[in-house]
Amino acid sequence: MKKILSLLFVIPALWATVAVAQSREMTPVRKLQYAEQIIENFYVDTPDTTKLVEDAIVAMLKDLDPHSTYTNAEETRELTEPLEGGFSGIGIRFQVLNDTLSVIEAVSGGPSEQAGIMAGDKIIACNDTVIAGVKKKNSQIMKILRGPRGTVANLKVVRKNTPEPIDFRIVREDIPIYSVDAAFMIDKNTGYIRIARFAESTTREVEDAMKSLKKNGMKNLIIDLTDNGGGYLRPSYEISNMFLRKGDKLVYTESPRAGRHDYVAETDGTFLDGKVVLMVNQFSASASEILSGAMQDNDRAAIVGRRTFGKGLVQRPFPFPDGSMMRLTVSRYYTPSGRCIQKPYADGDDDNYRHDMDNRLASGEFMSADSIHLNDSLCYYTLRNRRPVYGGGGIMPDRFVAIDTTFYTTYYRDLVAKGIVNRFCFDYVDDNRAALKKKYKNADKFIEGFTVSEDMMQDLIEFGEKEGVEYNAGQYAVSGGYLTTVVKALIGRDLYDQATYFRIANSLNPIYRAALDLINSDDEYGRLLSGKK
C-alpha cells in the first residue's frame, strides 16, 4: 500500500519535472495540449473535455476579432442550411400561433403539397411526437419535421370543418431555400428584386428574376438589400458582374499570408444600360456591402438609404470531423477604389462592437446624415466619375434616407411585438380563404381590390384588448393608417406569397419611396452619379 501511495504522489511530480524541462521549447499549442492532458488525467472529478476544448476555442477566437467564431455541430447545420440553398424535410411554410403549428403554404411541388397538406392545416403531431400545446420553439419543431431524404414523417393534422384529425404519410425530400424574397415589376419600366441573403443559389435566382423582369419590359431596376446580413462572397461579385463590363474591377481581398486576390468582371454583363438603384440600411452587411461597393465605385448604381453595417472581414470555414466548424478571418476585402469598409474594433472588446448600433442611434445618425463625421484621410474616388466615397465603416449612401418614426407608438409596438397583428391576419385568412381566393383570383386583383375595412380594424382592436393590449385612441390616430397597410400586406402574404407582402408593404418604406423617386428622375439620377451638384 505504501508503494502505491508513493507512486500516486510521484507521478504528478514526474509530470511537473517534465513540464519544467520542456518549458523552454514548449510551443503555445503544445502547452494547450499539455494542459488538457493534465486536466483529463488528474482532475478530481471526471471533466467534460469536449466542453473544455470548445470553450477554449471560443475564448481564443474572441481575442482575435468579432467575426471569427466557433459553432458546434447543431449550430453549424442551422447556419449553413440557408446558405447551401436547401435541406431535407416535408416542404411547408408555417407559423406557430397559439402554441399550434399552422401551415401558411405547402411548397409548390414539394412532398406536403403532393400528399394533400393545405394552407390553414394545423399539424398537432409528427411520428407520435406531440407538437401542439407543448410550448415548443420553432427550432425544436423544425428539428422534428426535418430529417434525411427518404425518411417518413407521419403527421396528424387538424383541418377546418373536418371533425376528426387526418393522418398523412409524407416522405421527406430536398427542399430549396430561396434567397430572393420577391421579384416583380413596380410599373411598366421598373423592376424590383429583394435579396434576403447571399447563398449558393443566389446568382442563379437573380439571373432568373432578371430574365423574367426583362420579358415584362424592365428598363430600370431597384435591388433591395435592406436587412441583408450577407453570406457567401462569390454571389456578391457575380451579381455585380451582371451590370458591368468585362475587365471592370469588382472587389479584391488581401492578407499578409495569402497576398492580394483581385476579382474582375469576366464577361460583359447582361444589364449594362438601364438605371440601377440599390436600397441599403444599417443592417446591410458583408456581401451586401461588396455588391454595393462594386456598383458605387464603378458609378453603375446609386445607393439609397443609410450607412451600412461595416463588415469588411472575410471568414474561411474550417470544419471538424464531428460536424462542428471554426470560421476564421483570413483576409480583408476592399472595394474597387481601395476602400476597406470594416468598422473599427478592439481585439477582445466584443461588447463595444456589439453596441455599435445603439451608439449610432444615440448619435442621431439614423435621423440625419450630418451626424456622420467623415474622415478626410479615408476619402477615395470612384473609378469613372471621380466622386468622393469613404471607407472606414460601411458604405455611405449616395442619397441618405432617415428612419421613419412618425407612425411609431407604444400601442403599435405592443400589437406587433406580442404577435397580435400576425395572429389576427392569419386567423382572418384561415376563416375567409375560400371566399378571398374566389373573389381575388391572383395577387394583382387582391392588391387592386382588397380594402381593410374599419370593421376589420375594430376587430383587431378588440382582439388586442382580449390579449392584454389596452386600446389607446390617441396613439391609434397616429399609427392606424400605417397599421392598416401592414394588415393588408400580411393578409396578402398569407393568402399568396412573400412577394405580395412587399408589393403592399413597400409603400410604407421611405427608402423604397426615395429609390423609386430617384429612378424615375433622369436628371437627378444622372447628376447624382456624375458627382455634379
DSSP string across 112-178: HHHHT--TT-EEEEETTEE-SSS---HHHHHHHH--STT-EEEEEEE-TT-SS-EEEEEE-EEEE--
The answer to whether 89 touches 146, Cβ cutoff 8 Å, is yes
Q: What is the rounded distance in angstroms from the CA atom of residue 214 to the CA atom of residue 227?
A: 26
Cell numbers 471533466: residue: 47
Phi, psi dihedral angles at 237 (to 5 degrees): -85, -25
Name the pairing type of β-strands 100-106 and 92-97: antiparallel
Cell numbers 502505491: residue: 4
**Catalytic residue ranges:** 286, 297, 311
DSSP string across 66-97: TT-EEE-HHHHHHHHHHHHTEEEE--EEEEEE
The answer to whether 246 touches 267, Cβ cutoff 8 Å, is yes
Q: How far is CA 75 from CA 82, 166, 210, 283, 325, in A?
A: 12, 34, 34, 22, 9
Phi, psi dihedral angles at 461 (to 5 degrees): -60, -45
Alpha helices in 339-442 (DSSP H): 350-354, 356-362, 410-417, 420-439
* The three cell numbers locating residue 206: 437573380
Q: Cβ neighbours of residue 106 under 8 Å, at least 6 residues apart?
A: 91, 92, 93, 112, 113, 117, 118, 119
Q: Could you give the dihedral angle defined by the CA atoms of residues 288, 291, 293 and 295, in that order, rounded to the nearest 10 degrees?
A: -140
> Taking the alpha carbons of 462, 464, 465, 467 in that order, is the dihedral positive or negative?
positive
Q: What is the rounded distance in angstroms from the CA atom of residue 301 to the CA atom of residue 286?
A: 18
Look at residues 336, 334, 224, 203 and name the one whose alpha carbon lies nearest to residue 270. Answer: 203
Cell numbers 423604397: residue: 512
- CA–chain centroid gap for 399, Å, is 24
The answer to whether 416 touches 330, Cβ cutoff 8 Å, is no
